Amino acid sequence: MLALGAVTMLVLALMMVISFSLTRAVHEKIRLQSHADAMTYSMATVGARAMNYYAYSNRATAAAAVSVMTLHAYHSQMTLVGSAMNAAWGAFAQISGWHAALFLSSCTPICTRWDDFRSMIEAGIIATRFLRESRDFYRRAQAREADFNRAVQAYSIMIDMVWTAQQSVTFHTINVLRGNDLDSIKTINAPCASQMPVAVGAMNVREFACALEGSPIDFMCIGGRAKSALVARGKVISGVANAARGEWPKGRTIPAPVLFHPQTLQRLMNGIQREGITLPAILSGSARTQNGTGAAECRGNNPNLPGLTACAVDQGLLTSFFRGTPPGIMPYSAEVFSNNNGGRHVQAQAHQGNHNQWRGFGRTDNIAACLTAGECFVNFRSDPRAAQDFGQPKVFGHFQQNLREGWRCTRGPWELGSNGRLTLNDGARGDVVLDFLPTEPGSVVSKSMIYFHRPDSWVFPPNAFDPYWKAKLHPMTNQEAATVLGAAGDGDGAAMARGGPLHGRARV
């Protein structure tokens, strides 16, 4: 009975030790899986914050472009004042011509012919005054042109600085997606866990690179969807900037008295001619980014244009009345274009030099040249395929740990053997080996997603202008698990995930 009792106590002790060891292994497996989930979710959160930063900074880029358009609108308006005075000169030249025709007519009385002669001379003098006034306004506009060019250049530099900041965020994000800079999570959750394999980190970087276009990591999207054409990306940011314009730069079908300075308007309407009245009206006016230097293009509303040129155009019609003759009618206009080729301007008397401070959107696809040859920005690389989650990037994690090791990475005092095995010698019949714990490290995989969700609409497409990017844990398919395990060098685990035969030693 004593012998049987000793054997029974030995069996009970072994069962208790095995129970303790299995409990610890299960607990450490749960801890390791929680650590993997926390890591991928944290990496996805950093990625979502990066996408939101791109959205906010792209809006800043569009706002800078709107400011450039508004500057062009103001400069065009300055030129328009001189053009209106010049149109008044032309209108009174017409009126002087009417009176000259009446004076030369042979069928009018002598006294009437003398009045027409005097009116002809006076209209000519008034026309000369308007001409001097127009030249004075042209000189004033020309004096402000250097300030205008410097302001446009400052906004261009601002866009360059925004793009540079975007790249700083990009490089920080890919460093996190590789599993770096998150040591505190490991210290808190699973201090005994391995680092994430380099190949799995490379998968995450590729996913993030394939969600962007126009960034220095475009080349890392190996085998992914091709990025949009340069012109198409230029149309995106140009369309956003044009849509964000205020009402005044967007369309100025406003009566001239609202736009002209009261003193200037008084001189134009009556102050110079003193008799009769001159009525200026603005027919159209617009400022935008566009492709070329055409006035009709600048006045149009076509949103599908790359922003290679910043422009502003204004058109008006002036009517002058003086002493009962038919009125003098003359159009007047102003145009200002800035681009990488020197731009263009009308009226020429109000300008000097070139307008080449605006480099334009969609001009270069060379990342290194973005600071010198074009206004670049980071865009979202969308994918129309639902199976690819519409291009929203995924984040994977893979971690290993010896499940026999607890919180302090040491084994419990109850454990038998040094490798999870118990060997019993049975004399001549050999040894009996009991594997009561996994002899290889436990492996876990996890997946999260950086996804776009506008609160008021699930169907609103992902983009790089609305800051509605978030992070979440996401279900993993067997193929994705097999890919992650294969990248981590776990061939048996990859085979098990795919449901195929094991390549190495069988494991349970």
Residue type, 56: Y
Cβ neighbours for 159, distance < 8 A, ≥ 6 positions apart: 61, 64, 65, 375, 377
How far lies 389's CA from each of 222, 381, 414, in Å?
17, 12, 49
Q: How much is the pLDDT for 211? A: 95
pLDDT, tens digit (0-9, with 9 covering 90-100), for 149-189: 999 999 999 999 999 999 999 999 999 999 988 888 888 88
Task: Measure the CA–CA gap between 441 and 445, rounded to whole angstroms.
Answer: 13
- Check residues 427 and 214 and name the one with the higher pLDDT: 214
- Kindly tell me if the per-residue pLDDT of 501 is higher than 90: no
Read off the tokens for 224: 């992914």
Distance, in Å, from the CA atom of 32 to the CA atom of 36, rounded to the nearest integer, reads 6
The answer to whether residue 500 scores a pLDDT higher than 70 is no
- Structural contact between residues 60 and 196, judged by C-beta atoms closer than 8 angstroms: no
Give the pLDDT score at 508: 27
For residues 441-445, average pLDDT = 87
d(CA 285, CA 288): 10
Band of pLDDT at residue 140, cut at 50, 70 and 90: very high
**Close Cβ partners of 206 (under 8 Å, ≥ 6 residues apart):** 220, 221, 222, 224
Q: Average of pLDDT values for 91-96? A: 94
What confidence score (pLDDT) does residue 415 get? 64
Burial (CB count <10 Å: 0-12, 13-18, 19+), residue 12: exposed
Please report whether residue 263 resides in a domain.
no
What's the domain count of the chain?
1
Peptide bond into 273 cis (omega under 30): no
**Residue 504 clears pLDDT 50, i.e. is over it:** no
pLDDT for 429 beyond 90:
no
**Tens digit of pLDDT for each residue in 318-368?**
999 998 888 999 999 999 999 989 999 999 999 988 999 998 898 888 888
Q: Cα dihedral sign for 354, 358, 361, 367? A: positive
Domain that holds residue 501: 478-508
CA 220 – CA 393 distance, rounded (Å) = 13
pLDDT of amino acid 413: 66
Report if residue 320 sits inside a domain: no
Asked whether residue 507 is domain-assigned, the answer is yes
Highest averaged pLDDT of the listed ranges 142-146, 251-255, 447-451? 447-451
The pLDDT-based confidence of 210 (bands split at 50, 70, 90) is very high
Whether the per-residue pLDDT at 312 is higher than 90: the answer is yes
List the alpha helices (DSSP H) in 281-375.
Answer: 295-299, 370-373
Query: 24 or 411: which carries more pLDDT confidence?
Result: 24
Tokens 């992914």 belong to residue: 224
Q: Name the pLDDT band for 420 (thresholds 50, 70, 90).
A: low
Calculate mean pLDDT across residues 99-119.
74
Please report whether residue 506 resides in a domain.
Answer: yes
Residue closest to 365 by CA, chosen among 375, 352, 351: 375
Categorize the per-residue pLDDT at 502 as very low, low, confident or very high, splitting at 50, 70 and 90: very low
As a whole-number percent, the residues of the chain with pLDDT over 70 amount to: 89
Q: Is residue 426 over pLDDT 50? A: yes
Predicted confidence band of residue 112 (pLDDT cuts 50, 70, 90):
low
* H-assigned helices in 267-333: 295-299
Structure tokens at 115: 């009045």
Higher-scoring residue by pLDDT: 458, 431: 458
Average pLDDT over residues 188-196: 87
Contacts 24+ apart (CB under 8 A), 22-29: 22/436, 22/437, 24/403, 24/404, 24/406, 24/412, 25/403, 25/404, 25/437, 25/438, 25/442, 28/192, 28/401, 28/403, 28/404, 28/405, 28/406, 28/442, 29/403, 29/442, 29/444
- Which pTM does this prediction carry? 0.85
Long-range Cβ pairs for the range 29-35 (8 Å, 24+): 29/403, 29/442, 29/444, 31/189, 31/190, 32/190, 32/193, 32/399, 32/400, 32/401, 32/403, 32/442, 32/444, 33/444, 33/446, 34/189, 34/190, 35/185, 35/186, 35/189, 35/190, 35/193, 35/399, 35/444
- SS3 string, 4-36, reads HHHHHHHHHHHHHHHHHHHHHHHHHHHHHHHHH
Compute the average pLDDT of residues 385-401.
92
The residue among 474 and 442 whose pLDDT is bigger is 474
A 10 A CB-CB count for 69 gives 25
Task: Kindly state whether residue 190 falls inside one of the protein's structural domains.
Answer: no
Does a structural domain hold residue 495? yes
Nearest 5°: the CA angle 158, 163, 66 is 50
Q: Among candidates 51, 450, 14, which has minimal Cα distance to 215?
A: 51
Q: Are 457 and 414 in contact (CB under 8 A)?
A: no
Is 80 exceeded by the pLDDT of residue 258?
no
- Rounded distance between C-alpha atoms, residue 433 and residue 196, angstroms: 33
In a domain, 486, yes or no: yes
Q: Are strands 277-290 and 309-321 parallel, antiparallel or unpaired?
A: antiparallel
In a domain, 31, yes or no: no
Task: Please give the single-letter amino acid code of residue 236.
Answer: V
